[in-house]
Each structure stands twice: as structure tokens, then as C-alpha cells.
Chain A
Amino acid sequence: MIPIDFLVMVSLTLFLLGATTVLVRRNILVMLMGLELMLNAAVLLFIVYSRVHANLTGHFFALFIFVVAAIEVGLIIAIILNLFKQKRSLLTSSYTSMKE
């Protein structure tokens, strides 16, 4: 049995890796990957605590999140495609036309 602390640490590490990716990388697709990592870190935490509390609520939540995340990715990819069509670039620094 793997101790709870380790699993929480893995989840936290995953989350921070994802957040760092979102903040640091300029490519919007890579940022999306970071976003997915953060989401998965949250899902992992749900499952861990589901086991700790010995009920299935966390599992159900995880399943819901997968569904929602799948839809969300579909949407985001569509948006990114449109953005790319407009700007011919995937870098966030070229999407600054809404400042001021």
C-alpha cells in the first residue's frame, strides 16, 4: 500500500508542473497540455481521498471531470484553430490585440 502522503505529493507535483508550464511556455498548445496536467492532478487527488474515506463519491467526480475535460479540450482546440487561422502563429505574444 502506497502511503497517502506520497500520492498527495505526486498530485501536488503534477499540479505545479502544469502551472509552471502554463505560466512559462509561450506556445498555446503546450499551455493547454499544462492545463490538462493540472486537471489530472486534481482528479488524482479526488481518487486518493476517495480511497481514504472508503466511498465512491470521488470516483464519480473523477469520471465527470473526464467527460467535462474531453468536451473542454474539443472546444479549446477549436478556438486555437481559429486563432491560428487569424494570426498564423501559436505564440501567446501574438494574441495581444485586446490590450488598452
Chain B
Amino acid sequence: MQTQGLVYILLFPLIGTFINGFLSFFRNDLKTYFKKNFQWSAEKFSYTTNRISAIVGVLAVTLSFLCGVWYFFELLNLSSENALSYTLLRWIHTGALDLEFSFYFDHLSSIMVLVVTGVGSLIHLYSVGYMHGDPGVSRYFAYLNLFIVAMLMLVLGNNLLVMFIGWEGVGLVSYLLISFWYSDIDKAKAGKKAFIVNRMGDVGFVLGALLLFALFNTMNFSELTQSIEQSAVPVGYITCAALLLFFGACGKSAQIPLYVWLPDAMAGPTPVSALIHAATMVTAGVYMVVRLSPLYFAAPYAMNVIAIIGAATALFAATIGLVQKDIKKILAYSTISQLGFMFLACGVGAPIAAIFHLVTHAFFKACLFLGAGSVIHGMGGEQDITRMGGLKHKMPVTFWTFLIAILAISGFPPFSGFMSKDEILVAAFGTEYGSMALGIIAVIAALFTSLYMFRLFYLTFLGDNRSGHKVYEHVHESPGAMTSVLIILAGLAMIGGFIGIPHLFSFLAFPNLIEEWLEPVVISFPLTRHGETLSPLIMLVSVGMAFLGLLIAYIFYGRKNTYAENLRSLFQTTYQLLWHKYFVDEIYHKLIVRPLYFISERILFNTIEKGGIDWSVDFAGRFSKTISRKSLKLQQGDIQYYLLYMIIGLIIMSVVILWWVQ
């Protein structure tokens, strides 16, 4: 079968990157060229290039998506065990290491490809409206296309090293896009922070990959799976490799302890936050853990660590989200929390639920972020929800789509988030690796999710407007390119859950599509009997939590009262703790950043660099300079001195020669 076309999935965005990169890089040269030869004005030039960039950018990803759909159907026709793979080139071939640069399109990566390119093309389309009039449109689309290339390489790579290229690539593009408006020092700093924190995780990834190579002599995923099942490597080594790789996932997917970069990453343009920092890139860690799930199943201790960190992150980030005021920050903490849910699912042995939640999360979180972008756009750059309110009438499309996405994330049936979150909760309570404690933490996190989302909703869209008359008058609905995308994503958030209908409803004869689809490549642990009996109760609790969150939010924020202020003054300490995000940034600053600066500035720079290396190099220079300055005196141009030296030299030489001869 022809699998050569798998390359096209990557090729189209790559071409888009080059075209947009060319337009961006040679912008000034092109401008003068067109001005000279075609008498184009500056406005006409920037209008045309922006148009070209937008069309190329959107088209590249859409074509890539269509390729993905084509191969998805090809895969559908194959028997379930098969996968499509295409070897681009024999990459590294040295002794023990024999790596191919090849793409592997199986059931798992097909879902990721469809999500990345599908949501990606919608967000590209939205960006056309959002970035309208920005001077850096070409640069923006070049980065965005490059992101798609890197992300696809991450999900399509058939060994850890190809995945690592994509892994680093998305990290790089994330950095470039967070600090897209680099003239603002805070945004540039946020990009730097994201890049550096991710580097720490990447060290874990590389070490884990190398350890796996040392243990099993291969980096190929399918070969790894086989050798893990057959080999007798001590479980300690496997646990170590699994934890190192998970540390990498913590960096990329913003889990405790490396989550601090994600809230700051909201400095980038909002579509970027939606695409990279909510829907796709941050789920790369989840994808990697699911891809390597045989490895994790062989290391029960690592599974427990993942489950605990996932649950802790889900709850921790949700509590911070309760009090934040910046609309994008709330969504960022919500993303961290939802990623925690996904890791919890991985850790309790339900990777399929993790992937399911990944997909639905991509839909509703992208919709939420883009809705937030629409709100920010309409409010003229305002991001503080305490200064919004009453936007319902001004922005009806944004309002309704946002509401649907909120219902989805909070877990109201039958929206998509309900289906996937319920599956995770059931697994947290009911599998071999799950426990009552993990389940309860997840349920509380679900309650908080509903609570902060409806708080955001009430403060933003309902109630009285608090932005002042002048701003409110100018609030307007976003252009069609943006709202149409919102409508599509809201639709997906509404019905996306039906690909994984819970087993409780199996009497309705609807198949659980995603589970059937992933069954051949990903193994999930079955529920224990205890879990089976509990699952109807868990579903009730889950729905109850969603309603409870809505109710509490309504009581505090839905009506005109001062309950919220009263509560805040009552629990001042707690509020301060949450408002300052548990002081984690400050603690990291004190414990890690400051000592690092101290070591690198005082010890390494001032003492070793300046006192040792620089000094010795300077000394060599100074020494020869002094010597030459001193010896310069000998050469004063007076011929008689030269003669004198010559004669002295002759005398010395004669004496020496006579001496030696005798």
C-alpha cells in the first residue's frame, strides 16, 4: 500500500513555513523591490503580503488535515492490528544504534494527527481575524505552521529520537510565540521562562530515552513494547526510565513541579494560547505516556507517582483558578488542572480515557480560549474579569459558544467533557491502581472546575457591566472568521463526547467508538468488581458536582450581593494564599533562581571566569606587551647603537665559538 503520502501531512505546513518565513524575513527587501518596480505603496504591500500569509497559512494546515483524514480512512479499511508506516530515510546507522527517520500512523497517532491538524486549521482560520492589522502576520503564520510541522513529527515519529525532534521543535515554537510581541519585556521574559522550564523537563526526557536505549538496545516504539513484555530487566531500571520520561512530560504538560511556565505563557497571542498552550502542545506529555503505556504498566511504582502527581495537579491548579482575575490565567490554570486529570487517568491504568479527555479537552478548551480571545478583542484588550460583565447582549455568538464550552468542561451531560471526565473518575475509583483517595481528590477537583468556570462565566457575561460606559459602548461582536470557528468548536464540544459513550449506557447499543478504535494499540486496565458496582454512583456524583459548582457560583456571583466579598474577608489568609498561587513562583525564585544566579554570577562568573580564565589570558597579553615595550627602547634608529650591538654580539659569538672549539 502506498504510504508515501504520509510525508505530505508534514510537507504542506513545512512549505507554508518557508513561504511565510520568506515573506517575513525579506519583508524590507521585498517592500523596496515592489515599490521600485511596481510603485506599490506601503499599505498595498502590507495588505497583499498579509493576505498571502493568511491564505498560505490556513491552506497549508487544511491540506494537511485532509491528508490526515484520507489516511484515517485508509487505516479504517485495514485490519485492526495493522498500521501505516513510511520510512523517509535511514537516519543513524552506527553499530548498536540503527535508527530510521520514519513516520508511524497507527490508531493512536491518527487521533492525534486529526486533533492537531483539525483544531489547528480552525485556529489558523480564527487567527486571520484575530491578528488582522498586526505588522507581523507573516512571521506569526510562519511560526504557527512550523508548530504544526513539529507537533506532527512528535506524534508521527516511530522512535523516541524523531519524537524528540518534534518535542524540541514545539518547545522552540512555543517560546517564539509566547514572546511574539517581543518588544514588551514581560512577554519576552515569559517566553524565556517557558523555554527554560521546558529544558529541565527535556533533560528528563533525554535521560529516560537513553536509559531505555541502554536497557533494550532500541528506540523504536513497537520494538520497545515487545522487548519490555519479553525481557527480564529489573523493574527498578524500568521504573527509573519511566519516571525520567514522566519528568519530561511534566515539563511539557505543565504538571507539578514544572507547571509554572504555563500561566505566564498566556502572554502570547490568544489563538496561540488556544492552539499550543491548551489544545495540542501541552498534551504531548500525555500522548508520550500513553504511547509508552507498556513501559508504565511494567513499572507499577511509576504509575502510582503519575496518578498522585496528576490528581494533585488537578486539585492544586483548580484551587488557584478559583480566585484569579485574569480571564486567560483562569483558563491556563484550568488547562493545568485538566491535564492533571489526563495524567491521573494514565496513572490509574486508563490511557484510553486520557486520550478521550485529551480530544474533548482540545475541543472545549480551544473554544474557551478563542471565546476569551473574542472577549478580549471586543473589550479592546481588557483581560480582568472583574471589569467585565454584561457582555451577553453585545456578543451573543461568543456568549452561547462560551456557555456550551463551559457546560462541557464542567461535566454536564451529555456534553463532551461529561463523558470523558466520567470515564476518568470511574477509573480513578475503580481500577487496580485507583483508590478512594485519588477518586475523591478528582471529584473535588471536578467540583472546583465547575465552580471557577461558572464564576468566570457570571462575571464576564452576566450581571452589570463594570468596565465603564465608554468601553462598554465600543464592545462589539468579533468578525465572522472568528465567530464561525467558535461555532464549529462549540459544536464539537457539544457532540464530541459521543465517540466515547460510557459503558453504563451500553444497553442503548451505542458503541464506545474511541475505545474500540484504540483497543489494538493501547491497553487499559479493566475495572475491578468493586469499581463496576460503584460506577453508576460515580456518574451521579460527577453530575452532582457539576450542578453544585453551578449553584455555588450562582449564589456568590449570579446575584447582586456581597457574599463573595464577605467570604474573602472571612478567609483572608486562604484568599491571599490562593491569589498568590501558593507563592510557588516566589519559592522557586528563592530556592532555585537566586542560588543559580549566585553560583553563576558570583562563583562561576566573578571568580572563575574573571579571576581565573580572563586573568590568565589578560596576563599573557600584558606580559608580551610589557616585554615589547621594554625591548622597543633598543630600536631607536641611531645607527651607531646598532653597530655597537652588532659588535657586542660578534664578541660574544667569538668568545663562545672559541670556547667551544677548545
Complex interface: stretch among A1-9, A50-58, A59-67, A90-98: A90-98
Contacts of A88 in B (CB 8 A): none
Whether the Cβ atoms of B643 and A99 lie closer than 8 Å is no
In chain A, positions 1-47 with a C-beta closer than 8 Å to chain B are 19, 22-23, 26, 31
The answer to whether B647 and A19 have CB atoms under 8 Å apart is yes
Instruction: Convert B634-662 into 0s and 1s, putting 1 for each residue whose CB lies closer than 8 angstroms to a CB of A.
Output: 01111110011001000000000000000
Pick from A22, A23, A31, A99: contact of B637, CB under 8 Å: A99
Q: Min CB distance, A81 to chain B, in Å?
A: 17
CA distance A97 to B636 in the complex (A): 9
The binding surface of chain B is classed by DSSP as helix
Q: How far is the CA of A96 from the CA of B647 in the complex (A)?
A: 20
The answer to whether the Cβ of B632 comes within 8 Å of any Cβ in the partner chain is: yes
Q: Are A100 and B640 in contact (CB under 8 A)?
A: no
- In the bound complex, residues from chain B placing their C-beta under 8 Å from that of A95 are 637-639
B643 & A100 in contact (Cβ 8 Å cutoff): no
- Which of B632, B635, B647 sits near A23, CB closer than 8 Å? B647
Complex Cα distance A93/B639, Å?
A: 8
Which residues from chain B contact A97 at a C-beta distance below 8 Å?
Answer: 637
User: B647 contacts A92, CB within 8 Å?
Assistant: no
Q: A19 CA to B635 CA in the complex, in Å?
A: 21
Interface centre among B632, B638, B647 (most CB of A within 10 A): B638
Q: How far is the CA of A26 from the CA of B637 in the complex (A)?
A: 14
Nearest CB in chain A to that of B636: its residue: A99
- Taking the closest CB of chain B, its distance from the CB of A90, in whole angstroms, is 13
Contacting residues, chain B, for A92 (C-beta < 8 A): 638-640
Contact A100 B647 (CB under 8 A): no
Cβ–Cβ contact A100 & B632, under 8 A: yes
Instruction: Give the chain B neighbours of A19 by CB distance below 8 A.
Output: 647
How close is B520's CB to chain A, nearest CB, in angstroms? 85
Closest A residue to B644 using CB positions:
A23
A31, B638: Cα distance in complex, Å: 13
**Quick one: which of A72-100 are within 8 Å of B by CB?**
92-93, 95-100
Do the beta carbons of B635 and A100 come within 8 Å of each other?
yes
Residues from chain A with Cβ under 8 Å of B639 in the complex: 92, 95
In the bound complex, what is the Cα–Cα distance between A99 and B647 (angstroms)? Answer: 20
- A99 pairs with B644, CB closer than 8 A: no
Contacts of B644 in A (CB 8 A): 23
- Assembly CA distance A95 to B642 (angstroms): 13
Question: Do A22 and B636 touch (CB < 8 A)?
Answer: no
Query: In whole Å, how far is A40's beta carbon from the nearest beta carbon of chain B?
Result: 18
List B residues 128-164 near A (Cβ within 8 Å).
none
Q: Assess whether A93 is in contact with B632, with CB atoms less than 8 Å apart.
A: no
CA distance A95 to B636 in the complex (A): 10
Mark contacts of B610-647 with chain A using CB atoms, 8 A cut-off: 1 yes-contact digit, 0 otherwise.
Answer: 00000000000000000000001001111110011001
14 pairs of residues in contact across A and B, judged by CB atoms under 8 Å: A19-B647, A22-B640, A22-B643, A23-B647, A92-B638, A95-B637, A95-B638, A95-B639, A96-B638, A98-B637, A99-B635, A99-B637, A99-B638, A100-B637
Measured CB to CB, the residues of B under 8 A from A are 632, 635-640, 643-644, 647
Known pairs A99-B636, A100-B632 / 18 extra A-B pairs, C-beta < 8 Å: A22-B640, A23-B640, A23-B643, A23-B644, A23-B647, A26-B640, A31-B640, A92-B638, A92-B639, A92-B640, A93-B638, A95-B637, A95-B638, A95-B639, A96-B638, A99-B638, A100-B635, A100-B637
